Amino acid sequence: MPTEFLDAEVQLLALAEQVLGGRGSVETVRIEQGEDSDGDAALFVTIVVPDVAVLQDSRQLLHLKLRARDRLEEIGRDAFPIFSFVLNSEYDQHAAA
């Protein structure tokens, strides 16, 4: 993992745990830099959760997305975050392939 994303991943993991229900509500956060469909800089943020129940409240997910954008700007990441949420079991299968 590029060290340039380590701080962003740590920051977003802490934020996601805070918004989605506390410690253990999020397994990990991974970030990849890329471009969106318009060619603008984007950060592809994958949030891995242990259980689908963590994702049931759409207000929490919206709050997380809005706060994450602010947090990324605070640490100098100006690219737009694009989120995906994955169950740990699916993430483990994908990582093993």
H-helix or E-strand spanning residue 88: helix 88-96
Average pLDDT over residues 3-8: 70
Angle at the Cα of 92 from the Cα atoms of 48 and 63, rounded to 5 degrees? 5
pLDDT bin (cut points 50, 70, 90) of residue 95 is low
Q: Where are the domains of the chain?
A: 3-96
CATH classification for the domain delimited by 3-96, as one of 3.10.105.10, 3.40.50.970, 3.30.300.20, 3.40.800.10: 3.30.300.20
Query: Does position 9 have pLDDT exceeding 80, yes or no?
Result: yes
Give 42-88 pLDDT, tens digit per residue. 999 999 999 998 888 999 999 999 999 998 888 888 889 999 999 99
What is the structure's pLDDT at 1?
47
User: How far is it, in rounded angstroms, from Cα 90 to Cα 67?
Assistant: 26
Q: Around Cβ 7, how many Cβ atoms within 10 Å? A: 12
Give 10-28 pLDDT, tens digit per residue. 888 889 989 988 878 899 8
Give 28-47 pLDDT, tens digit per residue. 898 899 999 999 999 999 99
pLDDT bin (cut points 50, 70, 90) of residue 6 is confident
For CA atoms 67, 73, 33, 82, give the dihedral sign.
Answer: positive
